[in-house]
Amino acid sequence: MRLINRFPSRATGLALAAIPFAATIVAYAVASHYRRLENPADKLLPSLEQMGATFWRMATEPDRRTGDLLLWVDTFDSLVRLGFGIGLATIFALVIGMLIGFLPHIRAALSPYIAAISLIPPITILPILFLMVGLGEASKILLVALGTAPVMTRSIAQAVMDIPKELVIKAQTLGATTWQMMVRLVLPQVLPKLITALRLGLVPGWIFLISAEAIASTSGLGYRIFLVRRFLAMDVILPYVAWITLLAYVIDQLLLALSKRTFRWAHLQGESL
């Protein structure tokens, strides 16, 4: 039997998925061990035990200065900013993407503009946002929204344009208006694609969020990483990076599960990454 036709069992799949993670942890532990043999006070590669203790302390012990549990306060603030930013981008992408993809005049007017906007590195407009809306929460939320909305909009517009023309012709033959076709034909077809675009938009969304928090913030995961970097506190930075990765992974998998549960017909063709 060819390898392309052989599929791992669930247990084998879980074991195969765990191998790269285990290999990374073992490689780090070995490198950290030998580095600390040469210099027991080395800060660049702290031990796993040291990182675990620091992470536990930040999650369970109130900060001496503020009295807050720093990990949870940072996580909450970052997730709120990310949620508002991605939410604005999703609404914009759904509405404008459907209009661009379905209406030729709107497509002619806005498609080149959205394409051009999507090519602007969002981090370069952060100083402009600071000047226009200040250093508060609005600038960070807007950066996430502006950084993800154009790409998501183009993805939704393309998804609308990929709808089979036969369906549109049948709807027109049955007397459907443009509004009825957008609501009852285009919208149901696009919603699974919207979740896929949202999952893809989360990657740059996290990047822009961390960047904004690093530059102008007094809380958040990105703020904490860049605050402690001056002390070379890798026992804080590395667990925070792992925590951000875990949060992003959980959100991504929740969106995938939501898509599979809500739009089963869109996943009938095979596995989804």
Whole-angstrom Cα distance, residue 226 to residue 213?
9
Q: Are 210 and 77 in contact (CB under 8 A)?
A: no
Q: How confident is the model at residue 272 (pLDDT cuts 50, 70, 90)?
A: low
The pLDDT, as a whole number, for residue 94 is: 95
Candidate from 213-217, 224-228, 252-256, 259-263 with smallest mean pLDDT: 213-217
State the amino acid at position 71 in one-letter form: L
Tokens representing 162?
């990929």
Whether 271 has a pLDDT exceeding 70, the answer reads no
Q: How confident is the model at residue 273 (pLDDT cuts 50, 70, 90)?
A: low
Length of the chain: 273
The pLDDT, as a whole number, for residue 162 is: 92
User: What would the pLDDT profile of 21-51 be if each residue is shown by its tens digit?
Assistant: 999 999 999 999 998 888 888 888 888 999 9
User: What would the pLDDT profile of 133-153 be if each residue is shown by its tens digit?
Assistant: 777 888 889 889 988 999 999
User: What would the pLDDT profile of 242-268 be if each residue is shown by its tens digit?
Assistant: 999 999 999 999 999 999 898 888 777
In angstroms, the Cα distances linking 234 to 69, 75, 228, 231 are 19, 18, 8, 9
Model pTM score: 0.86
Question: Concatenated DSSP letters for the chain?
Answer: --GGG----HHHHHHHHHHHHHHHHHHHHHHHHHHHHH-TT--SS--HHHHHHHHHHHHHS--TTT-S-HHHHHHHHHHHHHHHHHHHHHHHHHHHHHHHHH-HHHHHHHHHHHHHHHTS-GGGGHHHHHHHH-SSHHHHHHHHHHHHHHHHHHHHHHHHHTS-HHHHHHHHHTT--HHHHIIIIIHHHHHHHHHHHHHHHHHHHHHHHHHHHHHS-SSSHHHHHHHHGGGT-HHHHHHHHHHHHHHHHHHHHHHHHHHHHH-GGGGTTS---
Tokens representing 246?
């875990």
The pLDDT, as a whole number, for residue 169 is: 92
The pLDDT, as a whole number, for residue 221 is: 93
Question: Concatenated DSSP letters for 17-31?
Answer: HHHHHHHHHHHHHHH
The mean pLDDT value for 68-93 works out to 94
Portion of the chain with pLDDT greater than 70, in percent: 98
The pLDDT, as a whole number, for residue 184 is: 92
The mean pLDDT value for 201-221 works out to 87
Candidate from 17-31, 126-140, 207-221 with smallest mean pLDDT: 126-140
Q: How confident is the model at residue 63 (pLDDT cuts 50, 70, 90)?
A: confident
The pLDDT, as a whole number, for residue 267 is: 79
Highest mean pLDDT among 60-69, 116-125, 131-140: 60-69
Average pLDDT along the chain: 89
The pLDDT, as a whole number, for residue 119 is: 86
